[in-house]
Structure 1
């Protein structure tokens, strides 16, 4: 029983680390790709006669930061905020409930 409990804790910790790793990867990709997109757009707009300020603060230049930033914020909430609201053991409780429901269903069939 103790070994099973420690295995469960290990799997739970591993799952959390994988979620964090995916979020950090998402954040790095967000920064790198948006920096490249912004640089290319600003340089292109400046070649078309705009000043740096006009090119940089153009909505189309900042739109990718905004839209993708909303997606990144949702991802951050799912990794950091949601466990604070529903509790760290939410997944475990939900799995247990679903397993019990299946057992009851099997019992009556």
Structure 2
């Protein structure tokens, strides 16, 4: 795998993994179904676990694409954490803003048109 391919795979995977906790409100790690919706704390913890998984994948891709892992300082990891937060923004907005708005709008439609 070339370095360009590794970067695109990493970006696509990061965007998908950052949004999974927010889109699947009744499942933990996609596979474990729940009876109720997840709380905000559970969503953040799941999101952070996906961040750690993404870091492991990044190390693996760097090792295979470049042959070695470059040493990094703490600033690198903080920037990656905030970048992962930015990637999670669409899912967060969907879960906590857009979904409630759409459900409320649907209820009003049903109430006005019996």
TM-score by length of 2: 0.42
Instruction: Flag the structure with higher helix content.
Output: 1
Question: Is the radius of gyration larger for structure 1 or structure 2?
Answer: 1
TM-score by length of 1: 0.43
Higher relative contact order at CA 8 Å, sep ≥6: structure 1 or structure 2?
A: 2
